[in-house]
Amino acid sequence: MLPTQETWQPVRILRDQFESNVAALAWRDAKLAEQMRDWQPSCDYLVGFADRNLRLAKLVDGKQQLLPNPVPATSAAQIAKRLFPSGRCSEPVIVAGLDQGWLWATLFKLEIHTPSAPGHTPPLYFLTADLERLWVVLHLHDWKDLITDGRTLIFAGADCVAQAQQHMAANLHLPIPKLSVTVDPQTWANGSNIDSVTSFAVQAASNRLRQTSLRLDAQYSSYDAVDSMTNSSRPLRIMGITSRFTTFLQYSMRDWLEAFESLGHDTLLVIEPQNAAQFNALTFADECQRFKPDMIVMIDHFRGEFAGLPTNIPFVMWIQDQLPHIFSNHAGESQKAFDYTIGYGRDDCVHSHGYPSERFMPAMVGTNPRRFVPRRIRGDEYDRFACDVSFVSHCSTPAKTLLEQEIARQSAPESKRLLESIFDKLNARYEAGESVTMRHEFNEFISASLAETKLHVDNPAQLLNIFSHKINNAMFRHQTLRWLAELDVRLNLYGRGWENNPEFSRFARGVADNESQLSAIYQSSKINVQVSPFGAAHQRVFDGLAAGGFFLLRACPGDRADRIYRDLWDWCVANDVRSDAQLRKSADATARGYMEELTRINNIGPLDGGFEFMPGLAVAAAGGFTRNASTLWTEYDRVAFAGREELHERVGHFLYDDADRAQVTRGMRDRVLECMTYKAVAKQTMEFVTNDLLRQRAAGDDRQVMAA
């Protein structure tokens, strides 16, 4: 059925919508907007509806000629479903041809799903060779949002394919599409297609990377890293690379670079300019050529992951997360003479994956005291956040629910039995009022359950991660909250999902989503609690103390171990013991007592780990034994609690002794400002890298690397 004579309307009745779209287009592409505004159509166009479909026609010699409609709205939805079966856009796509614009609109309105880069919006490449058809379609749709969105790239005109091709080659920070749909075959001119367009861009990227690498090689051919790092007559140029598609790391990089600036250096932050962008090796190489860095810093990534970076300047990776690409043999093998690592996981990286021990410095994520600082709390903030005890965490999902989620991911019934068996053993410890934090305890549960179920797994580490980092994390924290709930105190829980936890929903107070709110929470709460099975020394505590908050800390057996390590080190220094062999030979009753106690805690002797113990102990000593709450704060014994009764006693005392609470806070805060800030980490990083470069020069290593 076609529209009747009476239902056809001139497309110009939608002139207001056209003008609105063109105004939006002018913001993105002034030239194309001017073309549309000045366009004189070859005939009059009509719009009508029939069978629930929009129809277009043109008047030729006073007669209506129906225009083909190969992709109506219903077909557009079907095509989108074939492209993205989940109904969510997950990668770039190119659409050649316009028709009535339904496919453009449908793809733009799809929900975006990019779990590997949360917040990334895959570009949509829309091509039309027919400017007159674009003029018509701009009357039909309200496309202001589509036109102004940075992910939408419209190329119009007879040379639209060449435009898209050149744009991809010139904007290689935007991901190149692999998916394509052809609405109008006439769009592809001179035999072009998606492959020819993208291969042109890929070749352009390859050529630019090769040329940039050659220029960088020439630029750094005579560069001397030692001279640059030790030259105090000029500031260093430090380039930090991060991504806007991280929830925390981009802000951590910001604070790290700010700390380098406070030490007198020049910095450059390299981050995607928009949500549609995704940086690559070429982007980094271009920035290196422009900025000429003396040092590159990056969080959770190492130089070997990217081609084109200069190799004879220091590159520092700060490990802040336990990611498989970092904790791998490939990553260890990729470490060259000027590659440095700081952060977590030194023992695993060095002894299991081959990272050079002399170029790995333990470091914790610190605080930025310019962002977290005691301040006068406004009345509305106090009314909202004041409480007796507060806890900030997103770990709100019950352990049982986490188990059910893991079981749902398994296909074999045997896997369910295994997971339930491990869970039951772990849960029994908590039901008895105890807790689990040590790796060997988890391994014992896993081994026993494997034996009971008569199963074998190729990767036990995966099971360890499920239970130690997910399920036990919830058990440990929620056990503490149950102890607090027994008290007659005002308890506030901040973070995602607490309102959905039936046991603790009554304490849920929403998400603290910025520094100002967190500072107000820390100061307005008489007591903040830090609870983690991985130890209480954590950036959240550093931030809270810097802001002036008071904290109680849940103790772990590992806390006790670090104090013994410190005592053992003091004994070694006093007795001039510097190696494992000397320790074995010279250990007296005191030293043997320390090592026996460490064996009881860790379930393995300090000299039985399969690698040299003393170098790692020396590294911990060089850092002042600050990685653990028990050795970081002299006030630890006063604020730490190991179980229910100690927690109740600590809360009962500090809730009502304002003076003591303030005194403890001052002491712990001073210690944080002394050694747990980004500035402290930046200073330690500079000293660490400089000292190693001087060591390499003394050994003659750096000249060999530069020659290579």
Which tens digits make up the pLDDT trace of 28-84?
999 999 999 999 999 999 999 877 789 999 998 888 899 999 999 999 999 999 999
Which pLDDT score, from 0 to 100, does residue 459 have?
81
Q: CB of 65 within 8 A of CB of 56?
A: no
Any residues with CB less than 8 A from the CB of 652 and at least 6 apart, and which?
Answer: none
Which pLDDT score, from 0 to 100, does residue 4 have?
58
Which pLDDT score, from 0 to 100, does residue 658 have?
97
Q: What DSSP state is assigned to residue 101?
A: S
Q: What DSSP state is assigned to residue 498?
A: G
Q: What is the Cα–Cα distance from 613 to 619, expressed in whole angstroms?
A: 10
For residues 364-380, average pLDDT? 94
Instruction: Compute how many other C-beta atoms are within 10 angstroms of the C-beta atom of residue 645.
Output: 11
- In DSSP terms, 54 is beta-bridged to 49
612-643 per-position pLDDT tens digit:
999 999 999 999 999 999 999 999 999 999 99
Question: For residue 87, what are the CA distances in angstroms to 74, 82, 118?
Answer: 15, 9, 17
Q: What DSSP state is assigned to residue 335?
A: -
* 322 pLDDT tier (thresholds 50, 70, 90): confident
Question: For residue 43, what are the CA distances in angstroms to 6, 17, 222, 605?
Answer: 20, 20, 68, 89
Any residues with CB less than 8 A from the CB of 50 and at least 6 apart, and which?
Answer: 1, 2, 3, 7
When computed from its CA atoms, the radius of gyration of the chain, rounded to whole angstroms, is 31
427-472 per-position pLDDT tens digit:
999 999 999 999 999 999 999 999 999 988 888 888 998 999 999 9
Q: What is the Cα–Cα distance from 300 to 318, expressed in whole angstroms?
A: 6
Instruction: Compute how many other C-beta atoms are within 10 angstroms of the C-beta atom of residue 37.
Output: 14
The DSSP-derived string for 52-80 is TEEEEEEEETTEEEEPP-SS-HHHHHHHH
Which pLDDT score, from 0 to 100, does residue 233 have?
86
Instruction: Compute how many other C-beta atoms are within 10 angstroms of the C-beta atom of residue 684.
Output: 17
What CATH number has the domain spanning 73-206? Answer: 3.40.50
What CATH number has the domain spanning 232-366+687-707? Answer: 3.40.50
Which pLDDT score, from 0 to 100, does residue 702 have?
47
The DSSP-derived string for 210-239 is HHHHHHHHHHTTT--HHHHHH-TTS--EEE
For residues 540-561, average pLDDT? 96
Three-state DSSP class for 244?
A: coil
Ranges of CATH 3.40.50 domains, the chain: 73-206, 232-366+687-707
* 414 pLDDT tier (thresholds 50, 70, 90): confident
Which pLDDT score, from 0 to 100, does residue 3 have?
58
Torsion angle defined by CA atoms of residues 689, 694, 698 and 703, in that order, rounded to the nearest 10 degrees: 70
